[in-house]
Amino acid sequence: MTTGELAQGSLGQKIKRRIRRAMGPWGVFLQGFVENPVMVGSIIPSSRFTIARMLGPVNWDRCKLFVEYGPGVGTFCRPVLGHLRRDGHLIVIDTNPLYIDYLKATITDSRFTAVLGSAADVEEIVRAHGFDHADYVLSGLPFSTLPSGVGPAIAAATHRVLRPGGAFLVYQFSAKARDYMARHFTRIDAGFEWLNVLPCKLFWGWKD
């Protein structure tokens, strides 16, 4: 690589940093989408209506460990921490270091842990942080565009890591996730939220 190419690359990084600072968390979210739309799935974070509907069925008194896949810039993280009991814990898992670095820099709650990794490895991640199981797992991952085999692997691992009575909470633009969930969860409640960009399907898979 030439000196000119290095300088051009450095300038590009500076421009990106300036854009992120100017646009705040939305700029970070947008950059993550542009760089890897297959894994992010949406260009705009979820609405407050989607957040309220998704978290509505959670029994917070019984929640010691809440796990989230694909947290982005923390759209759900802060509401979850707001509900979570004082001795509870939130672990978020994302394959994008941009989001993980942002969350580590902006969320200082001692109950919060951000992990760079795959949701398919949730069992190992949960055990590595001193837990036997999760009470609830939330996912906004775009199951319909994930690489072959990854969606089914995530659904299976999620069912195994949940305690009896726990739930897999999923919000999607397509119903593909439900197909994977149905292989493991015998009871799946469904909903739909119009007040979101785009309107999205909601699923709650219960481990009876």
pTM over 0.85: no
Residue 8 domain flag: no
**Quick check: is 52 in a domain?**
yes
Q: Is residue 34 part of a domain?
A: no
CATH of the domain at 152: 3.40.50.150
Range of the domain at 187: 39-206
Q: pLDDT tens digit string along 144-194?
A: 888 899 999 999 999 999 999 999 999 998 888 999 999 999 999 999 999
pLDDT reported for residue 18: 52
What secondary structure, in 3-state letters, does the chain show? CCHHHHHHHHHHHHHHHHHHHHHCHHHHHHHHHHHCHHHHCCCCCCCHHHHHHHHCCCCHHHCCEEEEECCCCCCCHHHHHHHCCCCCEEEEEECCHHHHHHHHHHCCCCCEEEEECCHHHHHHHHHHCCCCCEEEEEECCCHHHCCCCHHHHHHHHHHHHEEEEEEEEEEECCCHHHHHHCCCCCEEEEEEECCCCCCEEEEEEECC
pLDDT (tens digit, 9 = 90+) per residue, 3-15?
444 444 454 555 4
- For residue 30, tell me if it sits in a domain: no
Query: Looking at the domain assignment, is residue 64 inside a domain?
Result: yes
Q: Is the pLDDT of residue 103 over 70?
A: yes
Give the pLDDT score at 27.
54
In a domain, 195, yes or no: yes
Q: Indicate whether 25 belongs to any domain.
A: no
Overall domain count for the chain: 1
Q: What does the pLDDT look like over 75-100, one tens digit per residue? A: 999 999 999 999 999 999 999 998 89
Dump pLDDT digits (tens) for 25-83. 555 555 555 555 545 445 567 899 999 999 999 999 999 999 999 998 899 999 999 99
User: Which pLDDT score is estimated for 23?
Assistant: 46
